[in-house]
Amino acid sequence: MQSSPVPPEADRRSTTTEHHGRTRTDDYEWLREKESPEVTAYLEAENVYTQERTAHLAGLRQAIFDEIKARTRETDLSVPTRNRGHWYYGRSFEGREYGASCRVPVVDPDDWTPPRPAEDTAPDQPALPGEQVLLDLDALAEGHEFFSLGGSSISPAGDLLAYATDVVGDERYTIRVKDLGTGELLDDEIVGVIGGATWARDGRSFFYTTVDETWRADKIWQHRLGTAQDDDELVHHETDGRFWAGVGRTRSDRFIVVASASKTTAEYRFLDADAPELGLRVFSERREGLEYSLDHAVIGGEDVFLVLHNGTGPDFELATAPIAPTPPGDWQPLIAHDPAVRLEDVDAFAGHLVVHQRSDGLTQLRIVELAAPGEGDRGLGDDYLVEFDHEIYTVGSAGNPGFHQPVVRLGYTTMAVPSSVYDYDVRTRELTVLRRAPVLGGYDPADYEEHRLWATADDGERVPISVVARRGSREGVGGGSEPVPLLLYGYGAYETSIDPYFSIARLSLLDRGAAFAIAHVRGGGEMGRRWYDEGKLFRKQNTFSDFLACARHLVDSGWTRPELLVAEGASAGGLLVGAVANQAPELFAGIVAGVPFVDALTTMLDASLPLTVTEYDEWGNPEADPEVYDYMASYAPYDNVGALDYPPILAETSLNDTRVLYVEPAKWVARLRATAVGRRDFLLRTEMAAGHGGVSGRYKSWHDRSFTLAWVLDRMGLADRP
């Protein structure tokens, strides 16, 4: 008989720390030494063990990959977006990981209909007439195990392209500039950048952002073409460790805006291209607890700043202010605060505003038409929503760079309807579908059912759940409903909303009889700012209790059973599933923790680590406050591993992740193996050449997801189902 694989056993090397009179012992902190050959050997041994333990799933993994590939149009072309004199779009090619960025000239300035190939369904997707390839991403990725394109930005004249690349996975990018007339690269090379470049209106210089040793975006620079990076001008330095800095340009092209923001407070500076001699000015000085953003609009013939702020209520108000430094008391309401509607963002155009908002757990797109000078109420015309019919959906704008464009490009999806691109013509109020992402093989959304359910949390709060399943999968022998295997996903942090979305890979679950659900737990933003506030700091336990309430509701309502229920979360969602594993291990058949923030207390005690100080407003500062220390210690997954019979756990991480270090899941799995009782089935899978987002390249990412889904199906008892 062949012996079962033996898991690696990490040495126990105790280190003791003391904070606020509390002593804490950690046996596995030595795994933090990333450059140590011993640590590398341990991670590689874990990878070997994971492969051995999942060898029986190799055929299923390949089948899932083949299904994803067969359903995807590999050679394809995105809907072109108009920017000044060109239409810009992306292309993908069968057999290539990354694709290309392209453009064609605008033929008729009055025609806003995007060009398409003559035969849209042709398998080879012919190039558009006059196509210019701006970036061949596969050529840029050649020779690198990892590749990511960061920001790419066309100069105002359309003759230069600044683009940023990362070939390591640590999200520190290098900017290069390409002359689109000659196809040659300029000598300019800017290293250590986060994000991309923001062009000045003259097109001869650009702004960019760099990070400090803790990976906090803290400096804004201006680079002039033809000069060395060492000669770049420092435009702004954010010295408060709780704040990050960023730079952008208004859609009108008139203003460069520099943002400084923490999770609770904001401050903006602006540079007026019409009056550059005034320099960079503070719009409104930071006040603790006051968040705002800044944009430029022309309303009633008058140039104004649009200020989206929480000064009059937690769900934000839209106000106007003059083009000058202006204190909050002088901001004039445009859309008043409404506790039932969370205003999230606003896009200003010459003839209308597009307001991104959410209500009752769903996203909404709101159009506010601008009246001619001297007309309308405060210069405003009609105010209305773009309506859709599905019970659960996600809608948002999708690439609208032109200030004077009369159409709004928007994206729409549900859990059964593939991502769709529409143009909404504000002049005629016509909504035109431009494209629905193709799903090959005869896919029909009507074959799937999707629902909004509501669970009741421990404190009586109603928590929304979005669920999708193949129609008929729950039908029992007598015509009633039977429980089905179900994958429950959660996140619950940073006011990030996990809205309903479509996934081709997910079909490999649904078509084998499983269901998929999203628990919209507190800590996210699905139900407004209150939802976020009630799931952070000293109310973080609500996030975990909400997730457990959703799981129990799915069981009690007959959707699934504990032995069929798998939980999944990534990053802060990894903390979520790690916490519920400690609090209710009996409720789950398996847990997937992607790049999981499971050693939260250790991370938040070390101000030198990436992002720690900027996260104090989210988690608290356990180094300075004993109450925060005790509260975090009460839920941090690593600190609460116990002698419990945990469900099988798959922890996935990346060696070069700068957001959640690989050491967190590595330590967690080591402690689980040493402490747990019963099944003790724990796997650690580390990508040795990737960052927080995992592997790069679409085929690699398909293989990566296939691995996870095969493990999930195995936990559900569906591994043998075709």
- Residues recognised as catalytic: 571, 657, 692
CA 678 to chain centre: 36
Euclidean distance between CA atoms 551 and 556, whole angstroms: 9
Cβ within 8 Å of residue 711, ≥6 positions away: 54, 57, 590, 592, 650, 683
Q: Quick one: CA torsion of 581, 584, 589, 590, rounded to 10 degrees?
A: -10
CA distance 247 to 240: 17
Residue owning tokens 């996260």: 615
Instruction: Give the DSSP per-residue string, 390-446.
Output: -SS-EEEE-----TT-SEEEEEEE-SSSPPEEEEEETTTTEEEEEEE---TTT--GG
Beta strands in 143-243 (DSSP E): 148-154, 160-166, 173-179, 185-199, 205-211, 217-224, 233-237
Separate counts of helices (H) and strands (E) for the chain: 12, 38
CA nearest 313: which of 528, 82, 486, 145?
528
- Rounded distance between C-alpha atoms, residue 260 and residue 241, angstroms: 11
Per the rule left: phi > 0, alpha: psi between -120 and 50, beta: everything else, 707 is alpha
Instruction: Name the DSSP letter for residue 367.
Output: E
Question: What dihedral do alpha carbons 186, 187, 188, 189 form, nearest 10°?
Answer: 110
H or E stretch at 370: strand 362-370
Element (H, E) at 469: strand 462-470
Count Cβ atoms below 10 Å from residue 513 Cβ, excluding itself. Answer: 18
Please state, in angstroms and rounded to a whole number, the distance separating the CA atoms of residues 288 and 243. Answer: 12
Sheet of strand 332-335, all strands in order from the earlier edge strand to the far edge: 292-299, 302-309, 317-321, 332-335
The terminus-to-terminus CA distance of the chain in angstroms comes to: 29
Q: How far apart are CA 534 and CA 536, in angstroms?
A: 6
DSSP letters for 296-363: EEEETTEEEEEEEE-SS-TT-EEEEE-SS---GGG-EEEE--BTTBEEEEEEE-SSEEEEEEEETTEE
Is 485:513 a contact under the CB 8 Å cutoff?
yes
**Residues in a beta bridge with 185:** 178
- Rounded distance between C-alpha atoms, residue 384 and residue 544, angstroms: 37
C-alpha span between 617 and 657 (Å, rounded): 22
Q: Is residue 342 a contact partner of residue 359, using CB atoms and an 8 Å limit?
A: yes
Give the pair of three-digit tokens for residue 511.
């078509």
Q: Which of 657, 660, 610 is nearest to 637 (CA)?
A: 660
